[in-house]
Amino acid sequence: MKNKYLNFISDEHLLDCIGNLHKTYLKAKNNLSKKNFYSNKVDSIKLTFDAKFNNIDEESLIQSEILRQIDKSINNSIGTFHEQILGGIEGFEVGKLSGFDIKAKDNTLFADIKNKHNTMNSSSAEALFQKLSRYANDYKKAKCYWVQILAKGSFCELWTGEINGKEYSHSRVFKISGDQFYALLTGQNDAFYQLYKTLPTAIKDYQKTVKQDGAIKENSAFEEIKSETKATKRSIIDQITFENYGYYLGFNKL
């Protein structure tokens, strides 16, 4: 039977990948308590500038900051979504904590997938090159790729250059953009475009199969903070600052 969405992975696999990402969205949105919101320390100085220079009221500002944290959590899962999609292509599989993200089942390809081109510092880039080089050396027929799903261009080229003062190159270690990697694994130049175009339909179909659970708890961070201000009479930003930095000199005056 002909697939409805894509011809390089099954409809069931695509919907499963969408479902896995949906669970991440729900977890990120529904589990952000005040404790979780504060876990990385809120930058109260920046919040003050944002409120004044962008003319945003405090409630809207904090809601936006909460959404930013939720978005950051979700962004980390988009790369996993692509790994799962690509792992459903015939002849390939997901690494599952094996040191690589995607590999060919015949060991002729290994890949590490980053959702954005700028998510690594120099130390991480050096470690990744060394890891891919080891795969290339261990498997003499393997080509190894640093995949940038959202790259600054469309390319597939040898990864060479200076990292941390050292020259790196290998005849079978490449860097490649997301569109080119999808094309490489599927044999279809527009495979990444096909995924983009079919997602709205596939997501809509997936949502029809999901039961809406009214008992799901929305993120509670904002309401927890706001309820504190009723007792303390502080502004929302002052409340956040006190709860994050009350131990700093002078901040107990808030």
Which CATH number is 87-188's, of 1.10.10, 3.40.1560, 3.30.70, 3.90.550? Answer: 3.40.1560
State the Cα–Cα distance between residues 222 and 66, nearest whole angstrom: 8
Please report the pLDDT score of residue 215 as a whole number.
Answer: 46
- Contacting residues for 1 by C-beta, under 8 A, at least 6 apart: none
Strand (E) positions, 1-108? 92-94, 102-104
pLDDT band, very low/low/confident/very high, at 1 (cuts 50, 70, 90): low
- In this structure, what token pair is assigned to residue 129? 């090159």
Q: What would the pLDDT profile of 199-242 be if each residue is shown by its tens digit? A: 999 999 999 998 765 445 567 888 899 999 999 999 999 999 99
In sign, the C-alpha dihedral spanning 221, 224, 226, 228 is negative
Q: How confident is the model at residue 69 (pLDDT cuts 50, 70, 90)?
A: confident
Nearest alpha carbon to residue 152 among 107, 201, 114: 114
Q: Inform me whether the pLDDT recorded for 31 exceeds 80.
A: no
- The pLDDT confidence band at residue 88, using thresholds 50, 70 and 90, is very high
Query: What angle is formed at CA 55 by the lines to CA 47 and CA 40, rounded to 5 degrees?
Result: 15
- State pLDDT tens for residues 148-207: 999 999 999 999 988 888 898 999 999 999 999 999 999 999 999 999 999 999 999 999
pTM (predicted TM-score): 0.84
Tell me, what DSSP letter sits at residue 7? S
Instruction: Quote the pLDDT of residue 213.
Output: 56
Computed over every residue of the chain, the mean pLDDT equals: 91
222 CB-near residues (< 8 Å, 6+ apart) = 59, 62, 63, 66
CB 50 within 8 A of CB 57: no
